[in-house]
Amino acid sequence: MKFLTGGGSIVCILPVAVPRAFGEHPAGMSTKPSALLARGFPADPPEPDFLQWFAQVPVRKKSPAGTPMPAPLPPPSTGPSRARPSDEGHGTLPGTALFSESAGLSLGTEVHEALAEIMWFPAPPLSPSLSPVAREVLQRFLAAPDVAPVFERPSPDSEVWRERSVACRLDGTTYSAQMDRVVVTPPGKKEGSILLVDFKTDQGDPAEIAERYRTQLEIYTRILAEWSGGRHVIRAAVATVRTPALITVC
């Protein structure tokens, strides 16, 4: 008799001469294979070791009910902290500014890209690829007398920075900033001047808008003061594009 194993099964092969495998049998004893097997094997044979493989697998114990989860690991350190001043105030943006028909990132992107093309008045023609909403908003904004100082050149030696990216370390924090428009007039017989303008598509009360972006522009002003070294008088303002106005913040 042979035992073969494979595929999780046990196969028994009996020889043809079954009686000889177990010796002579008494008269009247059955020669059926099942009866012969019963004689040669115990009623409850032990299982081979390889069938007990699962006993070697460790059982994961369940945590008792109510056991608190372990505290998460703290985030890895990434060096000096960084901040973007333009993030300031966004948490208080009113719902009307978020969900009005012409609001959204697409309008803001179009407006900023178009205004970055303007060095001084007279302004170049607006791009034909602008959406109708952005074109209407920009035409009304650029024609408003209140915002003319943003684009008029104060003196022949004045220069303008447009969409200028800067980074500066203040009080242990490294700030990265994107300044929309900075008009710099160098010092001469008197100290120079800097006009910092941040374009916004917000609508609302001017005082509320000024307060919303005060922290952002105060940080921008400190960055410019570091660069100036006290040689310029700095003024920071928000230019609201959809309701044309120039709002001094600091």
Kindly state whether residue 69 falls inside one of the protein's structural domains: no
Within a 13 Å sphere around the CA of 55, how many CA atoms are in the beta-carbon half?
6
pLDDT at residue 78 in the model:
41
Kindly state whether residue 31 falls inside one of the protein's structural domains: yes
pLDDT at residue 189 in the model:
81
Of 10, 32, 53, the residue at which a domain comes to its end is: 53
- The whole-number average pLDDT for the span 233-248 is 97
The 10 Å Cβ neighbour count of residue 161 is: 16
Kindly state whether residue 110 falls inside one of the protein's structural domains: yes
pLDDT at residue 71 in the model:
45
Residues 184 and 135 in one domain: yes
Which domain covers residue 19, as residue numbers? 2-53
Query: What is the distance of C-alpha 139 from the center of its chain?
Result: 34
Phi, psi of 148 (to 5 degrees): -60, -40
Q: Does 151 score more than 90 pLDDT?
A: yes
Q: Does 153 score more than 90 pLDDT?
A: yes
Amino acid identity of 207?
A
Among 37-41, 115-119, 195-199, 224-228, the minimum mean pLDDT is found in: 37-41
Kindly state whether residue 63 falls inside one of the protein's structural domains: no
Residues 226 and 133 in one domain: yes
Span 19-77, pLDDT tens digits: 444 445 555 555 565 555 556 555 555 555 544 544 555 555 554 555 444 444 444 33
Structure tokens at 14: 């009996």
> What's the total number of domains in the chain?
2
Q: Does 156 score more than 50 pLDDT?
A: yes
Residues 189 and 240 in one domain: yes
The 10 Å Cβ neighbour count of residue 199 is: 19
Residues 118 and 16 in one domain: no
Structure tokens at 27: 């008269």
Kindly state whether residue 73 falls inside one of the protein's structural domains: no
Q: List Cα–Cα distances, 22 to 19, 31, 37, 97, 164, in angstroms.
A: 6, 10, 9, 96, 99
| Distance separating alpha carbons of residues 170 and 178, to the nearest angstrom | 16
Residues 111 and 31 in one domain: no
pLDDT at residue 118 in the model:
98
Residues 122 and 241 in one domain: yes
Greatest mean pLDDT among 133-142, 166-175, 185-194: 133-142
Span 120-129, pLDDT tens digits: 999 999 999 9
Kindly state whether residue 188 falls inside one of the protein's structural domains: yes
High-pLDDT (> 90) share of the chain, %: 56
pLDDT at residue 111 in the model:
97
Span 199-219, pLDDT tens digits: 999 999 999 999 999 999 999
Residues 131 and 183 in one domain: yes
pLDDT at residue 82 in the model:
57
pLDDT at residue 157 in the model:
95
- When the pLDDT of each residue in the chain is averaged and rounded to a whole number, the result is 76
Residues 131 and 42 in one domain: no
Residues 197 and 97 in one domain: yes
pTM: 0.61
